[in-house]
Amino acid sequence: MTLVTATERPARGAPRAEGGRRPSGHGTWFLVLPALIPILVLSVGPLLYGISLAFTDAQSGRTRATQWIGGLNFRDLLHDTLFWESFRIGLVWAVGVTVPQFLLALGLALLLDQDLKLRWLARALAIIPWAMPEVVVGVMWRLVYNPDAGVLNETLRTLGLGDGRDWLSGLSTALPAVIVVGVWAGMPQTTVTLLAGLQNTPRELHEAAAMDGAGAWRRFRTVTWPALRPVALAITALNFIWNFNSFALVYVLTSGGPGGRTRLPMLFAYEEAFRYGQFGYAAAMGCVMVAVVSLLLALFLVGRLKGGDEA
Amino acid sequence: MRTSTSGRVGQYAALLAYLVFLAFPFLWLVSTAFKSPRELGSLHPTWIPRDPTLDNFRQAFDEQPLLRAAGNSLLAALAAAVIAVLIATPLAYVMARHRTRLAKAATGWVVVSQAFPLVLVIIPLFLVLKNLRLINSLVGLVMVYVVWALPFALWMLVGYVRAVPTELEEAAAVDGAGRLRTLVSVTAPLLAPGIVATALFAFITAWNEFFFALVLLKTADKQTLPVVLTHFIGAEGVADLGPLAAAAFLATLPSLVIFAIIQRRITGGMLTGAVKS
């Protein structure tokens, strides 16, 4: 989440290094190596290895040597309707979580920026979903959605809205149900980030606009939003990536069921790799996921940045 | 700024709605953890358990090796946090103070590493660790956790280093302190609170982690808490709700406590990254 500030950094952080020392060769290396070696060996290396695996027929527990098969995995993937269905679900999930997450978090951040009582309580509570292990979040919502012992159906019964249903195993309700959990789980981080952005917006401008008789909406449009925009764009882009690649929540809630209705691409690839042992094929899926998400994000960011100049 | 009374009422109503939305699942978890099996089986569950019991906690410990799992989690998270901070702090220092190509590359890696799906990382890691005979081993898991926690740790630490004025270091250099001496006796003490916050955050991240642990740890005696928690959910998706809730509640406590302690510091660190010039 701190990555969010990346977009703002160059401009504001610029003066810092001026007048500083030149990097002295020896001194820097011994500071850098302890982190650099693990990064190269356990992150950069595996990543490249992973990408190259996508072009092989690597399988688990096989004695025959793996062979280069060129783009065969990708050609198979192209015709793998199950994978593309999973991909579609992944996109629905990622958009379905990211958008409400942003809107709800923005609302909460604006509230927390006001001088309200109980603000401390909201801040404390907003942290809970963030601090919890994802597995516990999944377990917790299973208890909420439980058809008999769950609080959701009981509330519906009390309000006379019918008997409720088995949310997580209904074909039509499973995906919306897990999306709600995704929104809940990711909201705090977004809220805190947006709140930090809000507290950077110039108060004086706000007051000046209020004096000039600008209403709340107008003040938001003309003062708050322009200042918040870089932070909002960055956190939304990151949320989208994180959500698209998420795994644990849905694994615990539905393990991809019912009938694959909540099988996110990560779950699909996980099963392919560690249940069926198709390492090469699963790596190809990973590559496709990165490629498509990067493309979508690039389009989104370019569109947004351009849109900003006209507004 | 003035807000009308009706506006205020609306704001409080909205805040209340948020509070309910954020809190109710957790309250329900706690409530379920203290309910007797008979109550869990009955229709019309209530918020307050009718006859609160600790049986679920006892049963949870009987059914699954929770203590063992908590020990594994603690070991892995502690080792990962300490190592990650030890190796990240010097690099973060370089990234914050020098504009070398290396520092830029490291920043690039921090950003790019966020975009890759874990499958693409875990398959090669699995193969590498298998060759090193580090599958089903906490050592292997810690290695993965360290690298996994690094991007975030680096980012936080770079912010903290920036907040330390370079003038102090220059003054020490003028007084004849060597480079290492300056780092150890001038910079490090000023960084200490930031380093602790980063370590705690890395600890929580590792304590909560599920995917790597699921893939890399095969036997129950090695598995961490999140993985063991999923064993409460049977093959058919039927769960023994009481013990499950009890165990889930216990597994959350350490993270919640630590997070409560460092909350202010994390948001603070985020701001220094953005604001301080």
Report chain A residues whose CB lies below 8 A from the CB of B111: 3, 6
Q: How far apart are CA A142 and CA A136, in angstroms?
A: 10
pLDDT tens digit string along A254-310?
Answer: 988 788 899 999 999 999 999 999 999 999 999 999 998 889 888 888 877 766 544
- Work out the angle at residue A265's Cα, subtended by the Cα atoms of residues A246 and A144, and round it to the nearest 5 degrees: 50
- A310: distance to nearest CA of chain B, Å? 26
The predicted structure's pLDDT at residue A6: 39
Does the distance separating the beta carbons of A125 and B22 come in below 8 Å?
A: yes
The predicted structure's pLDDT at residue B239: 67
Does the distance separating the beta carbons of A108 and B18 come in below 8 Å?
A: yes
Which of B127, B113, B116, B183 has the alpha carbon at shortest distance from B155? B113
| Same domain as B65, residue B19 | no
| Same domain as B172, residue B157 | yes
Q: What is the mean pLDDT of residues A33-42?
A: 88
Number of domains observed in the structure of chain B: 2
Residues of chain A above pLDDT 90, percent? 36
- A254: distance to nearest CA of chain B, Å? 8
Report chain A residues whose CB lies below 8 A from the CB of B129: none
- DSSP assignment of A75-97 equals HHHHT-HHHHHHHHHHHHHHHHH
The predicted structure's pLDDT at residue A273: 92
The predicted structure's pLDDT at residue A310: 44
pTM equals 0.86
Amino acid type, B189 = P
Does the distance separating the beta carbons of A169 and B15 come in below 8 Å?
A: no
Q: Which phi and psi (to 5°) does residue A76 adopt?
A: -60, -40
Torsion of CA B160, B261, B82, A29, to 10 degrees: 0
Any A CB within 8 A of B52 CB: no
Band the pLDDT of A15: cuts 50, 70, 90: very low
| Same domain as B224, residue B148 | yes
Least confident of A248-252, B168-172, B234-238: B234-238
pLDDT tens digit string along A102-156?
Answer: 999 999 999 888 888 877 787 778 778 888 899 999 999 999 998 888 889 888 8
The predicted structure's pLDDT at residue A298: 86
**First vs last C-alpha separation in chain A:** 27
The predicted structure's pLDDT at residue B179: 76
* Bridge partners of residue B239, in order along the sequence: B233
Q: CB–CB of B152/B202 below 8 Å? A: yes
Amino acid type, A12 = R
**Chain A residue with the nearest C-alpha to that of B127:** A60
Tell whether the model's pLDDT for residue B170 goes beyond 70.
yes
Report chain B residues whose CB lies below 8 A from the CB of A104: 18
Q: Complex ipTM, two decimals?
A: 0.86
- B155: distance to nearest CA of chain A, Å? 7
Tell whether the model's pLDDT for residue B124 goes beyond 50.
yes
| Same domain as B90, residue B200 | yes
Which of A266, A270, A243 has the alpha carbon at shortest distance from A187? A243
| Same domain as B12, residue B70 | no
The tokens of B169 are what? 């270091």
Which of B199, B216, B215 has the alpha carbon at shortest distance from B207? B199
The tokens of B17 are what? 């709605």
Residues 6 or more apart whose CB falls under 8 angstroms from that of A300 comprise A237, A240
Q: CB–CB of B153/B109 below 8 Å? A: no
pLDDT tens digit string along A43-74?
Answer: 889 989 999 999 988 888 776 778 888 888 99
Residues of chain A above pLDDT 70, percent? 89
Least confident of A307-311, B103-107, B145-149, B189-193: A307-311
Which of A36, A22, A27, A32 has the alpha carbon at shortest distance from B180? A27
| Same domain as B223, residue B149 | yes
Question: What residue ranges do the domains of chain A occupy?
Answer: 80-310
**Chain A residue with the nearest C-alpha to that of B201:** A131
The predicted structure's pLDDT at residue A180: 96
Q: Which of B:140-199 have CB within 8 Å of A? A: 143-144, 146-147, 150-152, 154-156, 159, 162, 166, 179
| Same domain as B164, residue B112 | yes
| Same domain as B185, residue B242 | yes
| Same domain as B113, residue B39 | no
Does the distance separating the beta carbons of B146 and A38 come in below 8 Å?
A: yes
How does the average pLDDT of chain A come out, rounded? 83
Q: CB–CB of B192/B265 below 8 Å? A: no
Residue of A132, A198, A239 to mutate, testing the B interface (most B Cβ within 10 Å of its Cβ): A132
For residue A82, how many other CB atoms are within 10 A of its CB?
11
Q: CB–CB of B120/A287 below 8 Å? A: yes
Report chain B residues whose CB lies below 8 A from the CB of A27: 179
Does the distance separating the beta carbons of A196 and B270 come in below 8 Å?
A: yes
- B151: distance to nearest CA of chain A, Å? 9
Numbers of helices and strands, H then E, in chain B: 13, 0
**First vs last C-alpha separation in chain B:** 29
Q: How far apart are CA B44 and CA A168, in angstroms?
A: 19
What 8-state DSSP symbol labels residue A3? G
The predicted structure's pLDDT at residue B129: 92
pLDDT tens digit string along B207-229?
Answer: 999 999 999 999 989 999 999 99
| Same domain as B96, residue B9 | no
Residue of B22, B132, B145, B166 to mutate, testing the A interface (most A Cβ within 10 Å of its Cβ): B22
Q: How far apart are CA B18 and CA A191, in angstroms?
A: 12
Q: How far apart are CA A37 and CA B260, in angstroms?
A: 34
> Beta-strand (E) ranges in B197-254?
none
The closest CB to that of A143, out of B211, B214, B241, belongs to: B241
Does the distance separating the beta carbons of B44 and A154 come in below 8 Å?
A: yes
Which of A265, A274, A296, A281 has the alpha carbon at shortest distance from A83? A265
CATH class of A80-310: mainly alpha
pLDDT tens digit string along B46-77?
Answer: 888 888 888 889 888 888 888 999 999 999 99
| Same domain as B119, residue B75 | yes
| Same domain as B259, residue B130 | yes
The residue range of the domain holding B173 is 56-275
Q: What CATH number corresponds to the domain at position B76?
A: 1.10.3720.10
Q: Which phi and psi (to 5°) does residue B239 adopt?
A: -115, 150
